[in-house]
Amino acid sequence: MRAASVSDYRELARRRLPKIFFEYIDGGSYAEETLRRNVADLEVIALRQRVMRDMSQLDMSVQLLGQTLSMPVGLAPVGMAGMYARRGEVQAARAAAAAGVPFCLSTVGVCSVEEVARGAQAPWFQLYMLKDRGYMRELLARAKDLGCPVLVFTVDLPTPGARYRDVRSGFTGGTRLEAALAQLRDGVTHPAWTWDVFVNGRPHTLGSVAGAVKESRRVTDFLSWIARNFDRSVTWKDLDWVRETWDGPIVVKGVLDPDDARDAVRAGAQGLVVSNHGGRQLDGVRSSISALPRIVEAVGDDLEVFMDGGVRSGLDVLKALSLGAKACFLGRAWAYALGAGGEAQVARMLATIRSELAVAMILTGCRSARAAGPELLDGLDRPSVSRPNRS
């Protein structure tokens, strides 16, 4: 099958990946209500079609935290991407660089921040706050020394959410022997993945934190260590601790409530990502797109607002821009594409998003992504939010 949409990449990834890794990408927490809302709430927003607007000139570029992007899209941090394709984070970062958009490396990526910087570009770096603050300080210093331009501080994971699919697939909750048998079974039935990743994609560690988990040898061992070491005591004051090492832009990721958004402003963040962690943390909360307008209204021009969660097309990107986001970050979309066929498929997926966004802009009369606002939405869906400053 030749993929034409994100749902096609999902199907290709389902066929190619072992079940434990596909379910890890695809699943959410508990009953997955929030996971479904992220997609469904975007689907029901109606764009306002306009015609005869002279759309011969189109500008999809945006300015984000001092960087120029070719379109208002980035690749969000996705854990363990190196288990979806050989050294997967490097492959995805190369595709993002070629497309002129940022790649954000997860703390729990298989490839280290050094490997991604060496093999592609210095990524935006995503930080989970762990109990070992000494190692966290060292990790921040490594990212800074490599020239990572932005720190994305994820704040909605003081403890991992309960993900039933991972238990059912055998990825979590069982013994080491059960996990090994599940991976062996999956490997035999997915020979292309086995050759690409299991045989030739080693080491299967979490590269950026490998120095702190020296006794572990498998990626699931690392994840267990990470889960035990998430710091539940984190508060807004910890941003001051981060700034002792990091003097670049800080984006707070995982905000759904306007009061938390105002706290991010007071704490001095330069940006925030409206996000519910792709529906993988607290189930039953708002979708990201439904939370977006109130947060934009709460912070005004005090920081840059981005969004992730449920974005599956360029049309979704334009809907989010119309509701006040300055850009969208894709998570599952690029993970599916990577699992479907590595860098080439991620590049094709990004080209599809770009093409879809262009069509949506032309048929709504939006000449510049920076000028997108609520007037692009059908009147029934148009909220009364102020337009953020996109210059």
3-class state of residue 2 by DSSP: coil
On the CB side of 68, how many CA atoms lie within 13 Å of its CA?
4
Phi then psi dihedrals of residue 154, to 5 deg:
-80, 125
CA distances 214 to 35, 79, 222, Å, are 34, 19, 9
Show the tokens assigned to 83.
């288990």
Catalytic residue among 37, 142, 277, 354: 277
Helices (H), 17-87: 19-26, 33-43
Of 118, 10, 27, nearest to 345 by C-alpha is 10
Show the tokens assigned to 36.
């479904």
Distance CA 222, CA 237 (A): 28
277 is catalytic: yes
By CB atoms closer than 10 A (0-12, 13-18, 19+), residue 36 is middle
CA distances 27 to 20, 47, 85, 151, 343, Å, are 10, 29, 19, 26, 23
Distance CA 10, CA 21 (A): 12
| Residue 244 near residue 276, CB atoms below 8 Å | no
Which residues make Cβ contacts (< 8 Å) with residue 231, sequence separation at least 6? 129, 130, 131, 158
Annotated active-site positions, please?
Answer: 277
